[in-house]
Amino acid sequence: MTSLLSDTPTPLTEATPPSEARSLPDAPPSEARSLPGAAPLPNTSLRTEDALLGSHSADAYAELMHEVVDALAQRFTSVDAPTSANDRTSLEAEVADFDLDGQGIGNIAALREADDLYARNAVWFHHPSYVAHLNCPVAVPAVAAEAMLAAINTSVDTYDQSEVATLMERRLVQWACRHVGFSGGDGIFTSGGTQSNLQALFLARENVLRAQQAQRAQQPQVLGSAQSGCGEPSRREIMSRLRILTTSQTHFSISRAAYILGLDAEAVVTVDTDAAGRMDAEALTELMRDIDDTGGIVMAVAATAGTTDLGVIDPLDAIAEICGGANVWMHVDAAYGGGLLWAPRRKHLLQGIGRATSVTIDFHKTFFQPVSSSALLVRDLALFDPTLHHNDYLNPEAEAQGTDAEPNQVDKSLQTTRRFDALKLWTTLRARGATEIGSMVDTVCDLAAEVRELLNAQPDFEVLGATDLSTVLFRFAPASAEAATADELVPMIRRVLFRSGRAAIARTTIDGTPWLKLTLLNPDTTVADITAVLDLVRATGHGILAGRHLESTTLEGGAA
């Protein structure tokens, strides 16, 4: 195996020689005796030495981290392709070859091994030929902060486990709410857009159910006659009528959330879009009217600020006007487009987002943070009430009612144990400033616009639709190829380039037609870099066509 970590053999306990190792004092005889019939107590004089991080292992920790950082720095400077080009079969065999139940090989040896297995075969998002998914290169100060938060291992569920970390996260939430336009808002950091969207719809469901039950409770006779004399409708009966309105371009996590939340199969209703793929406000109005007329209840409208494929933004102002008039929860999934709030030249594209009820923002997309760093923001703290659950060992209700109650963030989170991921964003803001980050978002959007112009000028490429952000849908379609052939080439070109390690491109299907997709999230990538990728696509496409022609000619010749 080839590793970039030092090859100098290092014993497991290098930092703490046996002669210098500290041990716990032996327990007094009276305390060392075990209960009758019980197994002997373990030998408490043994130390973990450099197995666990603490004062006794600080030197070993520093040495190990230095070696890892040096090895990674060398890989970043030498990597020449976005993927390893190793086929899955060989990788599976390599992974299966390790004994995970065997004797430990020591800290440094294990990290050398991980460098050779993982880092050598990693997918590198910083490489200019990686243009596949919503993965960004990461801010240097955020990576350093990641090491800090991992070592300290803070959990920000309760204040007594986190102290200043909780206060820092709350300050960041207030900062984000201010930029969204939630003057009295609040929020919580989550693992990603999927969790943020799930919690937003959970809050919508519970707040709507509470409002419906309170409203119906005031007129039980009417409800009783309408529902077989049962009096006040049950929670299940109301849930069966709840509907979420969204478009076909909305992230799949919305439909998945509806399923997890126990809504009916028909709960997610698709709103028509305009030619660009944005939600049609007039169609939304008509659909809401139809649902109301047929006895349904619109639980939420899920708008998108940056669709995954087309990169377009729904008309937030118009949707907010409709939702506000109907008193309907408006959720904006801005996991992709949330960074525009800080982009000097494109902030206006999110006009109306401050009128929403809840907003998802993924900082690990357009704020260049390491995974994971997402947040759910709501316009009113009281909207988090359905999440609150008191536990005597964690956040007892009696203490919460006190005048000096601790700010326990588990009160607002679906997670209990939760990493201090906010530290990465905090450090990035302090190191680089929000304006610089926002300018990087403008830069990748500018790049997407230039690439679209470049593709439009190429006769052997087709381009689909417009984009508000940094995705570009295109495909190789030379005049000599029929539409069906161009369809077949899309997955083949992607697969050949990925397996060769030369480029990582995504693919998707819009209205039955397959497209290649460029997702541009690296502000250091240039038009020349993308031109090189497009040349690879063209050459690969021509190569596949030439191979097909040769095969058909050979078969025809053989048959003759």
- 10-residue mean pLDDT series, the chain (560 residues): 45 40 40 44 58 95 97 96 94 97 96 97 97 97 98 97 98 98 97 98 96 76 48 85 97 97 96 97 98 97 97 98 98 98 98 98 97 97 93 87 90 96 98 97 98 96 94 96 96 97 97 97 98 98 92 64
CA distance 132 to 263: 33
Nearest Cα neighbor of 511 from 311, 249, 269 is 249
| Token couple for 392 | 């005597």
User: pLDDT per residue over 407-459, tens digit each?
Assistant: 999 999 999 999 999 999 999 999 999 999 999 999 999 999 999 999 999 99
Are the C-beta atoms of residues 257 and 198 closer than 8 Å to each other? Answer: yes
- Going from the N-terminus, what domains does the chain have, and what CATH number goes with each? 148-214+236-386+407-434 (3.40.640.10)
For 124-142, the three-class secondary structure string (H helix, E strand, C coil) is CCCCCCEECCCCCCCCHHH
Determine the pLDDT at residue 558: 55
DSSP state string for 47-76: --TTSS-SGGGHHHHHHHHHHHHHHHHHHH
DSSP state string for 454-518: HHHT-TTEEEES--SSSEEEEEE--TTS-HHHHHHHHHHHHHHHHHHTS-EEEEEEETTEEEEEE
| Token couple for 87 | 């086929």
Say what the pTM is.
Answer: 0.88
In 197-272, beta strands by DSSP E = 242-246, 268-270
Nearest Cα neighbor of 106 from 67, 139, 145, 158 is 67
Determine the pLDDT at residue 557: 59
In this structure, the strands spanning 374-378 and 461-464 are unpaired
CA dihedral angle for residue 528, residue 531, residue 532, residue 538, rounded to 10 degrees: -170
Determine the pLDDT at residue 556: 62
* Token pair 């206006």: residue: 348
Q: DSSP H helical segments within 218-352, as ranges?
A: 220-226, 235-239, 253-260, 281-293, 316-326
| Token couple for 27 | 């327990």
